[in-house]
A = this chain, B = another copy of it.
Amino acid sequence: MIFPSHLIEDAINEFAKLPGVGKKSALRHVLYLLKKDASEVQKFTTAIQRMRNEIKFCIKCNNVSDSDFCNICAGGSRKQDTICVVENIRDLIAIENTQHFNGLYHVLGGLISPLDGIGPDQLFIESLINRVNEGTVSEIIMALSANIEGDTTSYFIQKKLASYNITVSTISRGVAYGGELEFTDEMTLARSIQNRLPMNSITN
């Protein structure tokens, strides 16, 4: 694409680096900001700069935070004996927004992936074991993606925790609520039959 100004072009190129943003959307964003007051654009860039430069990570669970401990770990109202293990902050936010989990989290910062050269040492697994070592945890819920990396990571952590007297569970998988059987992929459908549950054990 040809642009009439280098300033516009630079801004478009920067926007187009964002995930899922093409040159056309980038142009739309740039022309939108061009029409806004300079103060509003300042607010936009300041919010991004502050987010990047001032953000902290919770020293307990690695969640993003405004201070040393995130508000989930800091507030005492959550169940302290249950830790939900997630790959990243996006997954944490997704679970948090269901408003159906009242325990703590542990963000791994990735999944074990030999192909990408990511081993257990590059993830926050050791700090998870340390938290369990403190003796207050009774259940670890693995909430990782249902793929090879997720399964490998779950398996690795489960092995590490085998000697502790705690429950290690995993989020349930199967046909989505509201999902129609005929449109569910074969793998999910097959597993949902294999891993069927007694009717009276289900929470709706």
A residues with a Cβ closer than 8 A to B are 1-8, 10-11, 13-14, 17-21, 25, 27-34, 36, 38, 41-45, 47-55, 63-66, 70-72, 88-90, 92-93, 96-97, 99
On whether the beta carbons of A47 and B89 are closer than 8 Å, the reply is no
**A4 in complex: contacting residue of B7, B34, B89, CB < 8 Å:** B89
Q: How far is the CB of A90 from chain B (nearest CB, A)?
A: 6
Chain B, residue nearest A41 (CB): B52
On whether the beta carbons of A8 and B50 are closer than 8 Å, the reply is no
**A30 in complex: contacting residue of B32, B51, B54, B72, CB < 8 Å:** B51
When chains A and B are docked, how far (Å) is the Cα of A44 from the Cα of B15?
7
Chain B, residue nearest A63 (CB): B4
Q: Which residues of B contact A44 (CB under 8 A)?
A: 14, 17, 48
When chains A and B are docked, how far (Å) is the Cα of A21 from the Cα of B15?
12
Known contacts A2-B99, A7-B55, A42-B49; can you find 8 more A-B pairs with CB under 8 A? Answer: A4-B89, A5-B66, A7-B64, A11-B47, A19-B32, A27-B90, A30-B48, A41-B49
On whether the beta carbons of B97 and A7 are closer than 8 Å, the reply is no
Q: How far is the CB of A78 from chain B (nearest CB, A)?
A: 13
